Structure 1
Amino acid sequence: MPLRPSLLSVTTTVALSALLLTGCASSQNPAGTTDAQTGDGVLDVIGPLEVHSLDPTTAEGIFTRLQVAETLVDADGTGALRPGLAAEWAASGDGLQWTFTLRNGAQFHDGTPVDAESVVAALELARASEANTIAVAPITGISAEEGSVLISLSEPFAPLPAVLAATSTQILAPSSYAEDGSVSGVVGSGPYQVVEVAPPSRIELEAFGGYDGEPAQAQQVIYESVGRAENRALMGESGQADVVFGMDATSLQRVKGKPGLQVESALLPRTIVLKLNAAHPALSDERVRQALSLALDRPAMATAVLRDPDIAATQMFPPALEMWHDDGLDPLTHDPERAATLLEDAGWTLGQDGVREKGGEPLTVELLTFPDRPELPTMAAAIQAALGEIGVTVEVRVDNSSEIPAGHASGALEMALFTRNFALVPDPIVTLLKDYPADGGDWGAMNWSDPDMTAALDRLTTEAEYDGAAADTARTRIAGTLQEQLPVIPVSWYRQSVIVNDAVEGFVLDPLERNWNLAAISFKE
C-alpha cells in the first residue's frame, strides 16, 4: 500500500518518539546529573561508524577521522586544500605531470620514514582498486624522486590534489600490507597510533611520540561504535563518553541544556535530494519539475522530520561548501499556486478525483527510497502528501538502496529520494563528474544533460585553477543550471551535532567530517 501520511501525522510521530525517549532517559539517568568518567585520562569517543574494514577504500575514513592516518593533501572545514603529507604541490605547464613535495620529518608509527617510495607504494595499491576514489583521475604512472612524488596523467586533471585528499587515498606504511597487497594493520603517520582494533565496534589508540606536528593532548583514546542515536545520547548524558558524534534531532532536544554537557553543531556538505527520470512522460518537462519543487514546503518538512527548519535546502550546495554555495541564486521556495499554474501550462489538468491527467493518463509517479537512513521514508511520506496537494499521485516504495542504481541502469526508475555527500572528496567537482556526465549518473541526473553545464564541468577539470576566477565562473554556471532546470531537486541539508562533556576542552567540529580533531582535546584541570 502506498504511504499517505500528512505533514501533521509526520510531526505527531516525531513528537511522540521524543516523549518516549525522554521518559526512557528519565528512568535511566535522573535529570541534571552526569557521572563523568574522564578522570582516568582516557578520551572516550562514541560514534555511529562501525569498523568493518582496515582497507582505506572501504573503511569509510574512520582512521583519518581518528587522526591515525594522513593523506598527501589535507583540507580545512570549508573544503579549501592545505598541506598534508605533501608540503606543497605543482603541475607542469601542460598539466600532465604533478609534483608533490613531501614534508620533512614525517614518520610512520613503526619508526620508518614517510619517504617517496612508501607513498608511491600506497598509492599504487589504491589504484589497483576500481572502487577507490583515485580511479577517477587519468593517471598513467606514479614515481618517486628524492623527497617528491611524481604523478603523470594522460590528460590534464585539475582536481588531482583534491582526489589525493580523499580518505580512501590515505598513506599507510609498507608494514600495513600483507604479501598479497591486502591491509593487515593500520600503521599511519598521524598523532595517534593503533593499539587494538576489535571489529566491528572498538578501536584503542595511544599518542604517537614521534609525530612531527602538534602532539596529541590526550594520551589514550577509545572509540566505540553505538548504532542507535538515543543510546549514544544516553552514554553522553551518563558520562560514559567525552565526545559523542552522530546525534539525532530528537535526542538533542532532550540533551540541550543538561548541566555538564555542550552541543556543537555545523551544517554538513550533504543534501537530501529527489532524483528524477527526465525521460518520464511528465518529468521530461522542466515546468513539471519546477512545479514539484514549488509544491514542497521545505521548512515545514525539515521541522517535522529533522526538527530543524534552518536546514531546509534553498539550493543544491549547503553553506558548508563556501566555494560552491551561491548567495546570488534565487532560493527554492514553496508556492503551490504557482506549481498548479505550471502544471496547467504543461497540459496536466485537474480531474474530478483531484488527480491531474493528460490525454487520459493520470499523473502518477513512483518514489523509491530506502530505510538505512530512518528519516528518508518519513521524508518520502511528506513529499507524497505535498505533491498530492497539487494533484500528483506519488506511490512510495521503500527498498534496498541498491535498487536506485539498478533502476537507473534499467531505465525503470521514476523518482528516488536519498542523501548525497558532496565532500567524499573535498572538492565537489569529483562527485559532480560522476553525477552529471552527459549520459547521467547513478546518484545524479537521469536522461538529462545540459551542454553549458557539461562545458563548465570540463573547464573545472582540465583548465581552471582551483581558486581562480575561471573556476568561480564555472561553479556559478553549474549551481545556476541545477537550480533552474532541476534534474535533481534539493529537499534538505544536514546538520552534524556532537555532545561534548564539560570535563574536556579544545574540541573543534569539522563540517566536512574528515577529521574529528581529537588530538587537540585536553582534560580540564
Structure 2
Amino acid sequence: MRSRIAVPAAALTAALALALSACSSAGPGAPDAGKAPGQGSSATAASAKVDYNPQPYDNVKEGGTYTSAGTIDDQGNPFNANATLTAKRVWFWYNPDVITYSPTGEVQYNPDYLSDVKSEVVDGNQRVVLTLNPAATYNDGTPIDWTAVKATWQTNSGADKEYNAADTEGYSLITSVTRGTDDKQAVIEFKGAAPWWSSLFTTFLHPKAATVAGYNDAYVKAVHPEWGAGPYTVGTFDAKTGDLTFVRNPKWWGKKGKLDKRVYVNLESDAAANAFKNGQIDYTSAGDAEGLKRLSGVQGTGIRQGGSPFAYSFYLNAKSPNLQDIQVRKALLESVDRAQIAKIQFQGLGDYSEPLPGSLLLFSFQKGYSDNVGAVIKHDPEDAKKTLDAAGWKPGSDGIREKDGKKLTVTYTLRGNDPLEKATAGALVQMLKPVGIQIDLKTSTAADFSKILTDHSFDIFLVGNRAPDPFGTRYLCQFYCSDSSSNIVSIGSPDLDKEIHAVAAIADPDQQTIQANAVERKALEQYGYLPLFSGPSIYGIKTGLANVGATIFATPLPETVGWQK
C-alpha cells in the first residue's frame, strides 16, 4: 500500500485501471529549477491534468446512490501485504481518513480527526505531535487517541515478523509513540529526519485489530464496521459475492455524507463495462484505448481523463552477461527513442500527450521535479556507436557487434500477447539494430511477472511503478541502494549507498529533494533504468457525479462525493 508498487506493463491496462493514490525543490542545474507547476515545458503537459468534477460540499445534492465495481477482495486490511488497491478504496469509505493529499501532493490534515499537528526536528530527530479531535471516536465507542497511533506504528514497524505488513519502511524509523498532555495527544519520535512522515498515518488501525490474528485474519473476506469511523458505515456485505453497501453513519461527528448509499458491486472489467453501458453502475475505468472507445458516447455519461501516479520504465539487468558492461548499457539506452515508444503507447487515446519522464522519484507536475534522465541519457545513436567502438564491440558481417567471439545479443521479455507491448518490442528491435545490438524476444505470461522480477530472469523488461504518495524522495534507496530488494536491476555501489543514506538524513524537505535529484543523476549514470511514460487515467462516469475521476494524488473525502446540484 505504501511502498512503490511494481506493476506489469501490458500496454496501459494497469495504469488506466487505477486512479487513487513520490518531494519538494529542484536541484542545481535542473532544467525547471525554481519553476512552479504550469511554468516550463516539463510542467505543462496533460500528465498534470485532473478531471474529477471537483465540487465544494455545499454544491453536492442531498441523497442519491453512487454505484461502481469493486470489493474488498480477500484481505480488507490495507496495511496487510495481501491487500489490493481495491481494499484500500473500500477501507477509505468506512475508516478514519486522517490525512489526504491534493492532486499534486500537498498534505491536507482532516480536522475531524486532527485538531493540531506539530512537526519539528530536535537534535537531528523528527518529532511529530498529533493532537486528536476530542470528538473522534470509533464506532464501538473506543476513543480515537494516542493508542490508535501507537497500534498503527507497532503493527507495521517490522519488529514483529508475525504481522504480514505490506511496508515497514518509515515505521521502522519510529523509536516511540507515547501519550502527550492527555490521551488525545500522540508524540511520535523518529530516529533521524522524516519529512514524509504523513504518509505513515493517512489512516489509523483500531487497537483491537492490532493483534496478529486481528491484523492478518480479521479482515479476510470480512468487514469490521465497529472498528471503523467516518461519515459512512457498512450497511450490507455479502462475503460470497463480494457486494458491499455503505450507508450514513449515525455516530459520525462531522459533516454528514451527502449520499444515501455507496454501493460496490463485484464485477470483472468486461462485466463492469457492460454494466456501465446499461446504466447499472455510475463509474468504471476505460482500461485502454479500446475500452475508451467502448465507453464513449454512452447516454448520460462522459469521459474523464487526467494524469496518473504511474511511471513505466525499461529495466536493464546489470547482472546479465552482455549487460554487465556499463558501456553496453549506456549505448543501449542512448539508442532508444523514448518519444517513439510513448507515441506507440498512446495511440488511440486522442490528443493525449505528456513530457518524457525525467525521474523515477517525482512527476513533472510536482514541486521539486528535475529532468534527471534528460541530464544523463540522451537519444544519440551515433554516440552509442562510438561508445561500443571504444568498448571493443566491433560490427560483424551481419552488422551485429561482436567481442571476443561473442555477439552483442540481448533478450527482451514480453508479457503475453498484448499488441501494444508487441509493438513496443518491435520498435526497440528496429532502434537497436542499426547500432549493432540484436534484440531477441522472449514471451512470458502475466502469471510470470513477479517471478521474473524476483529471480532477475530478464535482460530488458518493461515495468511500471505506482507512487502511493507524493513523497518520491522517500523511495531513493528503494530504487538505487545496492542492497535494496526493490533494486531489481542490480546497480549501485557502497559509495552511492552512503550518498543516498545521507539524503535521507536531511531534515528540510526542499533541501532533501535538491540533493535527491543530484544523487539520482549519479545513479542514472549506471544505466539500469530508462523511464518511458506515465500514461493517463481514463474513466467513464455518469454526468453530474462530483469529486470522482482522475485525481492523481488527491482523495476527496467521502462526505464530499455525490451528485452535483
Pairwise same-fold verdict (TM > 0.5): yes
1:406 matched residue in structure 2 = 454
2:357 and 2:363 in contact (8 A); partners too: no
Pairing 1:382-401 to 2, within 5 Å after superposition = 382-395=427-440, 396-399=442-445, 400-401=448-449
1:303 matched residue in structure 2 = 343
1:419 matched residue in structure 2 = 464
2:68 and 2:281 in contact (8 A); partners too: yes
Q: Does 1:53 align with 2:80?
A: no
Q: Does 1:43 align with 2:73?
A: no
Q: Does 1:138 align with 2:173?
A: yes
How far the C-alpha of 1:322 sits from its partner, in A, is: 0.4
- Secondary structure at the aligned position of 1:268 is classed as coil
2:515 matched residue in structure 1 = 474
Select the residue among 67, 75, 90 that pairs with 2:119.
90
Select the residue among 197, 219, 222 that pairs with 1:161.
197
- Unaligned runs of at least 5 residues, structure 2: 1-9, 14-60
Q: Which stretch of structure 1 is more off in the superposition, 492-501 or 368-377?
A: 368-377
Distance, in Å, in 2 between the alignment partners of 1:340 and 1:278 is: 20
Distance, in Å, in 1 between the alignment partners of 2:98 and 2:450 is: 32
How far the C-alpha of 1:44 sits from its partner, in A, is: 0.7
2:193 and 2:507 in contact (8 A); partners too: no
- Secondary structure at the aligned position of 1:180 is classed as helix
Q: Which stretch of structure 1 is more off in the superposition, 136-145 or 38-47?
A: 38-47
Distance, in Å, in 1 between the alignment partners of 2:236 and 2:512 is: 44
How far the C-alpha of 1:175 sits from its partner, in A, is: 5.1
Structure 1 residues 164 and 314 mapped into 2: Cα distance closer, same or farther (>3 Å)? closer
Q: Does 1:433 align with 2:477?
A: yes
1:70 and 1:171 in contact (8 A); partners too: yes
1:79 and 1:321 in contact (8 A); partners too: no
How far the C-alpha of 1:279 sits from its partner, in A, is: 4.0
How far the C-alpha of 1:161 sits from its partner, in A, is: 1.1
Pairing 1:13-92 to 2, within 5 Å after superposition = 41-46=64-69, 51-56=73-78, 57=80, 58-62=82-86, 64-66=88-90, 67=92, 68-70=94-96, 72-84=98-110, 85-86=113-114, 87-92=116-121
Tell me the C-alpha RMSD between the 2 structures: 3.6
Counterpart amino acid of residue 82 in structure 1 = Q
Counterpart amino acid of residue 118 in structure 2 = W
- Secondary structure at the aligned position of 2:272 is classed as helix
1:181 matched residue in structure 2 = 214
Pairing 1:65-464 to 2, within 5 Å after superposition = 65-66=89-90, 67=92, 68-70=94-96, 72-84=98-110, 85-86=113-114, 87-94=116-123, 95=125, 97-127=127-157, 128=160, 129=163, 131-136=165-170, 137-145=172-180, 146=182, 147-153=184-190, 155-159=191-195, 161-165=197-201, 170-174=203-207, 176=209, 180-182=213-215, 183-184=218-219, 185-186=223-224, 187-199=227-239, 201-228=242-269, 230-245=270-285, 247-280=287-320, 282-307=322-347, 308=349, 310-311=353-354, 313-317=356-360, 319=363, 322-326=366-370, 330=374, 334-368=379-413, 370-371=415-416, 379-395=424-440, 396-399=442-445, 400-408=448-456, 413-421=458-466, 423-449=467-493, 451=495, 454-464=497-507
Counterpart amino acid of residue 470 in structure 2 = P
- Unaligned runs of at least 5 residues, structure 1: 1-9, 15-37
Distance, in Å, in 2 between the alignment partners of 1:179 and 1:287 is: 49
Structure 1 residues 225 and 392 mapped into 2: Cα distance closer, same or farther (>3 Å)? farther
Sequence identity (%): 21
2:30 matched residue in structure 1 = none
Distance, in Å, in 2 between the alignment partners of 1:341 and 1:92 is: 50
Deviations 1:148-169 (A, max 9, x none): 222334x314145144146xxx
Counterpart amino acid of residue 388 in structure 2 = L
How far the C-alpha of 1:106 sits from its partner, in A, is: 2.2
1:504 and 1:524 in contact (8 A); partners too: yes
Distance, in Å, in 2 between the alignment partners of 1:380 and 1:516 is: 38
Deviations 1:263-283 (A, max 9, x none): 222222211122223344543
How far the C-alpha of 1:117 sits from its partner, in A, is: 1.9
1:366 and 1:397 in contact (8 A); partners too: no
Counterpart amino acid of residue 187 in structure 2 = L
Higher RCO (CA 8 Å, separation ≥ 6 residues): 2
1:290 and 1:339 in contact (8 A); partners too: yes
Distance, in Å, in 1 between the alignment partners of 2:205 and 2:137 is: 10
Distance, in Å, in 2 between the alignment partners of 1:149 and 1:121 is: 11
2:22 matched residue in structure 1 = none
1:505 and 1:524 in contact (8 A); partners too: yes
Distance, in Å, in 2 between the alignment partners of 1:63 and 1:134 is: 19
Structure 1 residues 497 and 312 mapped into 2: Cα distance closer, same or farther (>3 Å)? same
Distance, in Å, in 1 between the alignment partners of 2:293 and 2:334 is: 30
2:63 and 2:259 in contact (8 A); partners too: no
Q: Which stretch of structure 1 is more off in the superposition, 175-184 or 282-291?
A: 175-184
Distance, in Å, in 1 between the alignment partners of 2:210 and 2:418 is: 34
2:508 matched residue in structure 1 = 465
Distance, in Å, in 2 between the alignment partners of 1:201 and 1:372 is: 30
1:299 and 1:311 in contact (8 A); partners too: no
Distance, in Å, in 2 between the alignment partners of 1:342 and 1:51 is: 50
How far the C-alpha of 1:484 sits from its partner, in A, is: 4.3
Structure 1 residues 180 and 314 mapped into 2: Cα distance closer, same or farther (>3 Å)? closer
Distance, in Å, in 2 between the alignment partners of 1:374 and 1:101 is: 53
Deviations 1:286-322 (A, max 9, x none): 4433332233333333333443562473323463660
How many pairs were matched up? Answer: 477
Deviations 1:169-194 (A, max 9, x none): x3133455678333343432233222
Counterpart amino acid of residue 60 in structure 1 = T
2:372 and 2:517 in contact (8 A); partners too: no
